[in-house]
Amino acid sequence: MFSYIKGTLEEVTEGQIVVDCHGIGYQIQTSNDILDVLPSIGADLKIYTYLHVKDDGIALFGFPTKEDLTIFCLLLRVNGIGPKGALGILSALSADELRFAVLAGDAKAIAKAPGIGAKSAQRIILELKDKLNLSDVLQERKADTLQQPSSHADTARNEAVSALTALGYSSSEALSAVTKADFADGADVEEILKAALKQMAMI
């Protein structure tokens, strides 16, 4: 019903904000990490929203980016994960971190979210792994590159991820570093590995 709300930030409390849009104050539930990107009180903002309707009430959930909203909606499709659970996951992990953890099968990283145990983490990986892929992440990270990643490039990246996990990094950490690393098209495994290690040193 609401794709986004654009208005004035009127109030910020733990877990929610109030946005004034044409004289109507919308109470929007958010993850705690949104506080880092919110403007000051009285400033304009645009927040992407999800309207959840249930028997005992209506709740509006808000996110700073479309990607966050997309991941939130995907989480809602997982059996046993409701809006508050999905919001809790996105409070513990960024959308990127969750995506990397799912792609890498890193249940331990997902289980760090409040209320998410090992079984729930495995279920999230099982139900979302076919809805997320590395190519999408790469296209978002390198949006200015029109060429699709080749199978050779994919193989080199996968080998670099394997090398990093052999060095003791978690699967999601390794995948995240390789995806965010800056390297030339056609780079070999060694070049990708060096770029990924440099990326990790910057974090």
pLDDT in tens, 79-124: 999 999 999 999 888 887 888 889 888 898 899 898 899 999 999 9
Q: What percent of the chain has pLDDT over 90?
A: 41
CB 82 within 8 A of CB 76: yes
- d(Cα 80, Cα 123) in Å, to the nearest integer? 9
Which pLDDT tens digit goes with each residue over 4-14? 999 999 999 98
Q: What Cα–Cα distance (Å) separates residue 89 from each residue in 13, 82, 193?
A: 19, 11, 30
Instruction: Please give the pLDDT value at position 6.
Output: 96
What does DSSP assign to residue 77? T
In the chain, the largest separation of any two C-alpha atoms, in whole Å, equals: 58
Phi, psi of 73 (to 5 degrees): -65, -35
Which pLDDT tens digit goes with each residue over 113-163? 988 999 999 999 999 988 876 555 555 544 433 334 445 567 787 788 888
Instruction: Please give the pLDDT value at position 8.
Output: 97
- Does residue 117 or residue 164 have the better pLDDT? 117
What does DSSP assign to residue 148? P
SS3 71: helix
Instruction: Please give the pLDDT value at position 85.
Output: 92
Q: What residue has token string 């208005």?
A: 7
Name residue 9's beta-bridge partners. 19
Which pLDDT tens digit goes with each residue over 29-57? 998 778 778 999 999 999 999 999 988 78
pTM of whole model > 0.75? Answer: no
Phi, psi of 110 (to 5 degrees): -70, -35
